[in-house]
Structure 1
Amino acid sequence: MAKRPKFSIQALLEEVKAEEEQENKLKSISGDIKKVTRVKRAMNCIPPELPPTLRAKLLVEFFDVTVEDTNTIEAVGKLDCFCGDSHVFAPPVGHCIECDRELVLKTRCKVRYVSLEGVKEKLKLSLKCSHCELTYTYSKFGRPKDGMRFYDEEREGVEVTDGVIFSKRLCELQSCLGNHAWVSFEGFAESFNEALVDQNSAIDRRTFSKAWYWFEVEKELRRIGRENFFFSGSGTYFEDAFSIIEETRQKSLYKHTCSDGCLKKGCSKMIVVDGIWKLNFTHCMMVSKNVSCGVPVLNLPDVCTNEPQHGHAFCSVHVSMVNDYNKTSGAPSVPTKLKEFLKYCNVGTDGDNDKPSEDESSIMGKVVQTAAKCGLDTTAGSNVINQHSGQEFITPNMPLIKDVLAECDERDRHEVCNKDTGDKKPLNQRSRGHMVAVSPGGHILMFNPLYRSESPSQALLFMLSVVCLCLGGAPETLWGGMWIAYDNMCNILKLKAMDWLKKSDGLVARMFTKCQKIIDGLHISNHKSKFCQEVLHPSNFDNMYPELKGTRNTMVAEQTFVWLGRFKKIVCAMPKSRHMFFLHRMIIRRNSYTSNCHARNINIVLPKVRNQYTT
């Protein structure tokens, strides 16, 4: 401030007025800064995609920004949205996807947001189009009566229920702990609640389970390009997608990019096949003949592979058939509940349905008699041939499959190798396990369920489908360089079907016969015959590929089973559809982890196999 030349009343008044103006400017600037800060915070909490009228309404209600303050409201549209946790979960669109009309508010409710920071209360909005009758929730849109689908844009949260939203980072942590530490849904729920949540806000196991399935179903649908899949409004929720995911899984191998570390193990030159018996699921007890494309198929178990209704002995198809018989026959009703049906068949158990007191043939005979009594269609339900290979493989190769399986009876032989294929069968209610194909680098290529036993017919059918997918499109000159390792290969080669395959001109038959066959290094010591020790010895692989001697890994299947088998306590209690989906997603994650380790030249944790009793 300039020095007064001399004292005067007029000069003093001017000085006071100037100071007041400066002070008012400072107050105005301070108020504007506070206002801008408040608006920025509001914009940080309200999704910018919401219609302007709805955004203004929320600003008035929650953040003390008045509609009359037009300058502030105009500034709202010009400010960038800051990053951070949103206090409002809303659809990512403000206009209808079909008609481009502005959306209006449908519902608003408080939700619990579950994240790595614990549980917080947030606000969730759903919008609707008055013209198209489309509903837009946080993660999906559609007409509830017709079905809902995911947005093309992936959201940061998982909408578990109307009142619960999970952070995807938390779901990712849950998946990683399950994949590497075999943590169950209940174990993760208890750990989360104990570490981050007070007792009054605890999240139960079912909610964590549902969140995981929604999270992984969305990731899988986006992976296979089916994010436009519509979930029905019938109450089946994410389970609607299981059938299409399983159908897609059967059509292809699990893909991976080979690195130097992977190739040193023999990847792209060998497939190791084996059966794991620890992982099984319940299936329908009724008989279902193996008929595909109208053609009967021999030497496969005649079981219905559908999962049973909860608490019942049969699947929904056979339960409906039996109930129809009960209504029209006038005879004593045939029960469909599991315990009542076993009692009806006079099947005694020792307190455990998996340990029948009668032999399997007797029990199956009673089930067959019941099916005949009810006049049931023995081709109804789902059979083994379709479950094992999928229509993509069966339909073009039906003549080959029919003739090969018809010859899947073993020749008389003097030398019998020590291979237990599961002759002691449990009650016809649980699958036998899974047939798995693994690359020497540790990547799982394919898996399919086994029924009744690890029979040569199912093993051969599985290997044919794997070879078809693996060598399809490859030049014929490369077929002879592919090796297949299996611990029961000697009995596969002694099938009469092998003679038929050698004579066949079919593409799949020529692929399989040209592939080299060996027994894996872990089980070769159990095989005493000269044929096994000379013709099928794993060292024969080294003669063709001497550069891989000492690095190739034929025991990779059993090593992988040490990891895979630890899911027993998690997946064996699941119904079939969830069992298959859970393993499918865990295998994808395991393969990704394996590829990353190879790419970074890090040793993969492949546990040592201490004995032969690992399957």
Structure 2
Amino acid sequence: MNDLEQILKLAETHPALFDHLSLSKIYRFISKARQHRADILLTQPGTHPPDVPPDVLPPSFQLYLGHLSEIPNEYIGACWMALKETVWSGGDIHGQDDDESICYGREMGITNHTLYPPIHYCDNKDCPRRPDLRLTKAEQRQVVFFTLNDGTCPAYSVHLYCPDCNTNYHNNYYVLKGQRTYYSHHLEAIQVAEHQFVERRVLELFMTLMVNAWTSATNCARFYDVSLSKRQVQERFFRDWPFKLELTTEQVWDGIVIVSLLEDAAQRQATLTVPHIGLQKDRFTAAVQARNARMRLYGQSELSHYCNRCTHIYRNEHRKVFVAVTDGITIGHPCCAEHNCHTPLTSNRHRFCPDHAILDNECSIITCENHVLPGHLACGDPTHQAIERRHVERGQARFQLKEWLLRARVAHPNDCIAEERSLQDLDDTEVAEEEFILSNDGTVIPNDQPVVLHDGETLCASKDDKSSRKLRARFGRRRTANEQILVAPCGMILVRETMYGAEATSSVIEMLKRTYHKAPELKPNHIFYDNNCHLARMVRNDPFFADIGLSVDVFHFNCKHKVTDEYCQCHCNPISFPELLTPDGQWAFNSSIAEQTNVWLGGFHSIVREMVVDKYNFFLDEIILQKNAMVKEKLVREGRDPGNWPVVGVLEPRGSTTKEI
């Protein structure tokens, strides 16, 4: 029987009811009843099937639905009998929550959002419980739900307990033997803290803001609070709610991490399992490290990408020409001050990792191995003590503060609201090594060599006294040198690698060989690099590069490479490679794409500069994944025929479109 027939039957059996009914009242009755189906089901016996509506509404919901739909209570039972199939079979109807709904529900202990587990029966295959017996032992707790349409909502979260196997089923996951195992299906509400949930659409909005507008987690939380929270409305009715109706930076980060890990698990057809006990900040560390390790092992999912902007296929000749471009960008994270050490710091405020912590006791003057004096960074040598004093004085000097200010003045601040900071809060540890001039009379003078800032500007250098000697000191912590990326001319980012020491040519060679050693058939046929004149010399006898063309991109070749360098002109001139040209003599590929991509990547400098290494790698990998997805959508819209080459058993399966020549 359809909905209209049910209503007509209701009119026949209760003619007086239609004096109190209207389409708007019927709609409100159905929508509110659908919103609380799980609450209604919870009151039924454990043997009641979840897909069958109960014959009788619980008394509390008779009052609740009658009041909100303005239908007299004596007719609520008849309305339920007529409309229960409609209520139970349709999807949720999401509308704006009005003041009356919020106020009356609050009086009855009912909120417009109640978060239940997505299952009704125990899912533990080893559980002795009867398979047809629903879970009915429930515990309800007060939470805050940050939604897109309704703003910040006080809500209830209900978890169901199986007494036969001690499994607790929550909205996002179930808990058994101290482990959280997340459900494999799509979760709409993400639990970001013990009593806080964020709607997935809100987290997806935050990620879009991060990728496209370089918005930090702090500014995402502030954006939500100002534009979407509707907190003033909620505070009128929930002043006594035990939790703050404000989204925090940590909750934004945790939400993005959880969604990213869930999507990663879904792509691998795996489940996400994390510890249930312990601190929230440590809960996902192992899962993040495992994802980072897979990224280093398998690379980005688009490593096997092709499209007609980056790959030219010559079907008659059964060959293809795939081009890639590599370049570096000076962003990074704090790292051990020992050169090229990859061991993470215990804290970002430390100078050395645990493996090199003993070096904290050595004099900061390079080449001096004497122990430091207590409370100092230099040994007892009077000259070394003078250098340390000069370092401290220099740090407090006006010109040095100006240098720090220039360094901190970035395009996209981490927090849009400025906070008052003391002099001690300014960070002078960015310069890991400093050079000092020791004049003939024993005076120590800082040798202010040009300091390269993140925006490419430099500070002036002082004059050098040829008669004096120089000493180098390492008072501050070190940062990684740069991020090296490999990009297809279409804009697809194929590889990202952190360079610890410097963007050395040997490091770039190592990155390329490590990336493609498991899948040599994916190697680019040609690589643009602004330092290929040195790279080509180093690999001219390396069989790995025997079938790879190496040229300098057009801009750098014309502007920054000497015409007198015979090797560069003969072996790295892009005009020498006919596959890089179209039939009419135009350049076939965008060789400047890496620098253009690095402009985008550099916008995250202020966001990532103080991240610990695990979070740093996870975040950069995730924004690259998101950007690549956007690039692929754009290529599809433009008719560029994007896809992925089939590589069996080497790359992680991602469900991408594959193609053979």
SS at match of 2:478: coil
2:221 counterpart of 1:189: yes
Of 519, 539, 548, which residue of structure 1 is paired with 2:552?
519
Q: 1:446 to 1:426 in 2, by over 3 A?
A: farther
| Amino acid of the structure 2 residue aligned with 1:244 | A
> 1:543, 1:424 → 2: CA distance?
50
- 1:41–1:171 CA distance, 2 compared to 1 (3 A): same
Residues 266-304 of structure 1: CA distance to partner in whole angstroms, max 9, x if unpaired? 996112111111x1001234x5xxxxxxxxxxxxx5413
Equivalent-residue separation in structure 1 for 2:622 and 2:203 (angstroms): 13
Measured against aligned partners, the alpha-carbon deviations of 1:538-567 in whole angstroms (never above 9, x if no partner) come to 222335654483231111111111111111
Residue 227 (str. 1) matches residue 259 (str. 2): no
Per the TM alignment, residue 49 of structure 1 is displaced from its structure 2 partner at its CA by 11
AA partner of residue 309 (structure 1): S
Deviates more, 1:172-181 or 1:81-90: 81-90
With over 3 angstroms needed to count, the CA separation of the structure-2 counterparts of 1:75 and 1:307, relative to structure 1, is: farther
> Corresponding residue for 2:155?
122
2:292 matched residue in structure 1: 246
In the alignment, the residues of structure 2 paired with residue 181 and residue 159 of structure 1 have an alpha-carbon distance, to the nearest angstrom, of 25
Secondary structure at 1:207's aligned position in 2?
helix
TM-score by length of 1: 0.67
Matched, 1:432 2:481: yes
Alignment partner, residue 84 of structure 1: 93
Residue of structure 2 aligned with 1:460, choices 509, 514, 527:
509
Structure 1 segment 19-30 matched on structure 2, within 5 A: 25-27=14-16
Matched, 1:45 2:39: no
Contact 2:116–2:170 (Cα < 8 Å) also in 1: yes
Structure 1 residues 359 and 442, CA gap change in structure 2 (3 angstroms): same
Indicate the larger mover: 111-120 or 555-564: 111-120
The answer on 1:273 being equivalent to 2:326 is yes
C-alpha change, 1:163 and 1:311, in structure 2 (3 Å) is same
1:561 to 583, 598, 618: 598
Give per-residue Cα distances to partners, 1:229-262, cap 9 Å, x unaligned.
3345332123331111111111224344534344
In the alignment, residue 204 of structure 2 is paired with which amino acid? E
Deviations 1:365-401 (A, max 9, x none): xxxxxxxxxxxxxxxxxxxxxxxxxxxxxxxxxxxxx
* TM-score of the pair, normalised by structure 2: 0.63
Q: Hey, what does 2:334 align to over in structure 1?
A: 282
Answer whether contact 2:325 2:591 (CA < 8 A) is retained. yes
| Residues 566 and 36 (structure 1), Cα distance of their counterparts in 2 relative to 1, 3 Å cut | closer
Matching residue of 1:355? 431
RMSD: 4.2
Q: What is the deviation of 1:527?
A: 1.5
Q: 1:567 to 1:111 in 2, by over 3 A?
A: same
- Judge conservation of contact 1:104–1:128 (CA < 8 Å) in 2: yes
Aligned partner of 1:306: which letter?
P
**What does 1:503-542 correspond to in 2, within 5 Å?**
510-524=543-557, 525-528=559-562, 529-542=565-578
Query: Structure 2 vs 1, CA of residues 252 and 540 (structure 1 numbering), >3 Å: closer, same or farther?
Result: farther
Quote the Cα distance in structure 1 between the aligned partners of 2:354 and 2:252. Answer: 28
CA contact (8 A) 2:335 2:344 kept: yes
3-state DSSP class of the match of 1:93?
coil
Once the two structures are superposed, the pairs formed by residues 381-392 of structure 1 within 5 Å of their partners are none
* Unaligned runs of at least 5 residues, structure 2: 1-10, 65-72, 95-111, 236-244, 315-319, 362-370, 396-427, 437-471, 641-661
1:165–1:334 Cα change, 3 Å: farther
The Cα of 1:60 is off from its aligned counterpart by 4.1
Q: 1:92 to 1:302 in 2, by over 3 A?
A: same
Paired residues of 1:182 and 1:567 also in contact (CA < 8 A): yes
Indicate the structure with greater helix content.
1
Instruction: Indicate if the aligned counterparts of 1:48 and 1:81 stay in contact, CA closer than 8 A.
Output: no
- The 2-side partners of 1:313 and 1:177 are apart by 33
- Deviation (angstroms), 1:209: 2.8
Corresponding residue of 2:587: 550
Matches within 5 A, 1:144-163: 146-163=178-195
For 1:390-401, list aligned pairs within 5 A. Answer: none
Greater shift, 48-57 or 174-183, is seen at 48-57
Instruction: Quote the Cα distance in structure 2 between the aligned partners of 1:489 and 1:425.
Output: 32
Percent identical: 20
State the AA in 2 paired with 1:194: V
Contact 1:265 1:551 in 2 (8 A): no
1:60-209 mapped onto 2 (5 Å cutoff) = 60-64=59-63, 79-85=88-94, 87-98=113-124, 99=127, 100=131, 102-117=134-149, 118-143=151-176, 146-196=178-228, 197-198=230-231, 201-209=245-253
Q: 1:36 offset after TM fit, Å?
A: 10
Partners of 2:218 and 2:588 in 1: CA distance: 40
| Cα distance in 1 between the residues matched to 2:473 and 2:121 | 63
| 1:472 is aligned to 2:510 | no
Letter of the aligned partner of 2:161 in structure 1? K
| Distance of 1:307 and 1:189 partners within structure 2 | 28
Mapped to 2, the partners of 1:123 and 1:62 lie a distance apart of 16
Give the partner amino acid of 2:89: D
Q: 1:516 to 1:109 in 2, by over 3 A?
A: same
How far did 1:93 drift?
0.5
> How many Å separate the matches in 1 of 2:19 and 2:251?
47
Instruction: Give the distance between the partners of 1:531 and 1:425, measured in 2 at CA.
Output: 38
SS at match of 1:124: strand
What code does the residue aligned with 1:539 have?
A: I
Preserved contact between residue 49 and residue 91 of structure 1 (Cα < 8 Å): no
Change (3 A) 1:58 1:482: farther
Partner residue, 1:218: 262
Distance 1:58 1:556, change over 3 A: farther
Q: Following TM superposition, by how much is the alpha carbon of 1:512 offset from its aligned partner in structure 2, in angstroms?
A: 2.3
Q: Secondary structure at the residue paired with 2:527? A: strand
Task: Give the match's secondary structure for 1:531.
Answer: helix
Name 1:330's counterpart in structure 2.
none
- Deviation sequence 1:156-205 (CA, Å, 0-9, x none): 11111222211111111111111111111222222222223346644233
How has the CA–CA distance of structure 1 residues 50 and 271 changed in structure 2, closer, same or farther, with 3 Å as cutoff? Answer: farther
Amino acid at match of 2:158: L
> Which of 341-350 and 436-445 deviates more?
341-350
- Equivalent-residue separation in structure 2 for 1:156 and 1:116 (angstroms): 11
CA 1:87–1:543: 2 relative to 1, 3 Å: closer
Q: Are the structure 2 counterparts of residues 558 and 302 from structure 1 closer, same or farther at C-alpha, using a change threshold of 3 Å? A: closer
Summarize the Cα distance change of 1:342–1:226 in structure 2 as closer, same or farther, 3 Å threshold: farther
CA displacement 1:414-464 (0-9 Å, x = unmatched): xxxxxxxxx999955311111111111111101111012112221110121
Number of positions where the alignment pairs a residue of Structure 1 with one of Structure 2: 476
Counterpart for residue 492 of structure 1: 535
Please state whether the residue corresponding to 2:498 is helix, strand or coil: strand
Matched, 1:570 2:607: yes
Q: How does 1:573-584 map to 2 (within 5 A)?
A: 573-584=610-621
1:483 aligns with 2:533: no
Query: After the TM superposition, which of the residue ranges 26-35 and 568-577 deviates more from structure 2?
Result: 26-35
